[in-house]
Structure 1
Amino acid sequence: MKKLFLLIALVFSTAICSNIYAQVTPPPGAGDKDLRDTDVKKRSVEMDRIERDAKKNGKSAVNPATAQAEDRLAAKYDEIKTDYERIQLSQDAVIKTYQSSGKIDYAQIGKSALEINRSATRLHSNLFPAPPIENADVKKEEKKDDEIKKETKPAKSVRDLIVDLDNAIGSFATSSMFQNLRTVDAQVSDKAKLDLEKIIELSALLDAKAQKSASGGQ
């Protein structure tokens, strides 16, 4: 069981010590991009080290279901690592583009937001796989409910969406779920899942809003 938590936590363990996201009201400052990129690379190196240690320890689970989960996470390690890096780097690109001098390149912001959405969606499926829903009517009803929720939410500006997305990424990366390998609180895990789902939703909204602004819409 400990190895299972280790495989999950290795993706985010070093983010706690060097979080690059500022949870503030105005769009966060881009800062030194080279330094921010270096932080991402350092975390990736540490992730690789922890992953090697996990392999050395061997499979620790006795429960077949837990053992299967360990195998699945181990097989998906490269995808998890890639998506975690891409979410950070794409968010850096969003901030840099928004704060660049001259006319804002909304098309580029939309492109980066789409990258975040794709990576976050795959990361969600790897970390929090949902049980298959066989009933087609249930799927349609859930999709309909999601569409209604989106329609009833007030429209936000590109700036506000960038701030909300940045805060969601920061909250997810610093979740206490990834600080303790021995105990994982269900509420903490649920919060991390909700944060990731918020990242997926906000990045999709930012992509759509930015593309609309790029085409001359409001």
Structure 2
Amino acid sequence: MFQSKKLSGAALVVALLALVMSLGGTSYAAKLITGKDIKNGSVTNKDVKKSTLTGKQVKNGSLKSADLARGAGDDKLVYKKLSPTSGPSYDAAQANAPEVTLFKEGALTVYAKCFTDTSGPETYSVIYIKTSQNGAVFDSDYDDAEGGAFDDFLNTSTDEDDRELLYSSAGADDTEYYGNHSVEFSAIAPDGTALAGLLSTGAKRGTLAGGNGVYGPGDSCLVTSATWSS
């Protein structure tokens, strides 16, 4: 003889949900989830399949900046003001200066250093790139101007001087700001990370006759990085 068994509470709920979904289909699911159920900023470009969302799916005036979270592939503008470390020579001052990260994505990092060579004396503001994977490549307008190859290989052992993207320097009671069109760079790493961007850098030493302005008193460096990635 057939003997029925009672469903547990949890099993009964699952069974009822399955029945409701089979009857109502996706139209019922659509009624369950609305814009009120999605937290602002919780859906990024990684959550939307390419070419699946068009203007027809977005009501005019309904999409606000708060609804879009910044993803890893979005552009990022960074500004930093740095105080220099010092050394008795360029190499010593450069080695003493800490790396200040401007942008990091995958195997690639763009960073800055601010340091003073006291033998000059001269203060330098320099932006570099480095990789954690051998076999990356990079190129910049500054690199080309300095006689570098059109495409430069970038490895973990590449000397720091060969990884410069841009620099400026200032002697006593002087300043230099470098931010014209010749500050573009790009890089590609074996892990698929691709970076491109625009850079600017400024260095100041001592006191300026016309006032210290944004640099402030004493020696300082200004660096900006407008960088975007794949």
Q: TM-score range by the shorter chain?
A: under 0.3
Give me the TM-score of the superposition, normalised by structure 1: 0.24
Which structure features the higher share of strand residues?
A: 2
- Which structure has the bigger radius of gyration? 2
Q: Which has the higher contact order (CA 8 A, sep 6+)?
A: 1
Which structure features the higher share of helix residues?
A: 1
